[in-house]
Amino acid sequence: MTMAGRRPVQLPVLALVCLIASGISGCQDPSDVTIYEPGVYKGKTDPLLALADTAEYEERLAVRFNYQRDR
């Protein structure tokens, strides 16, 4: 047989191998899973959270809110 005769058989086999390989790689269990409890945040700390209680932050939010009132 020539190379042209084998090509139609190789293409479906290659597609099947790629499909199986992608399916297997998608089934891996990630090791960086964080278990959460309801109502308890266990993620990284938010550096902007400290700004939320300042008067300057509240003023900036009020200004932004007033800019959006005309929409």
Domain residue spans of the chain: 45-71
Threshold 0.85, pTM exceeds: no
- Concatenated DSSP letters of 19-46: HHHHHHHTTPPPS-----BTTB--S---
* pLDDT tens string 12-69: 788 888 788 877 766 666 667 767 778 877 778 888 777 787 888 889 889 998 888 7
User: Distance (Å, rounded) from C-alpha 48 to C-alpha 60?
Assistant: 14
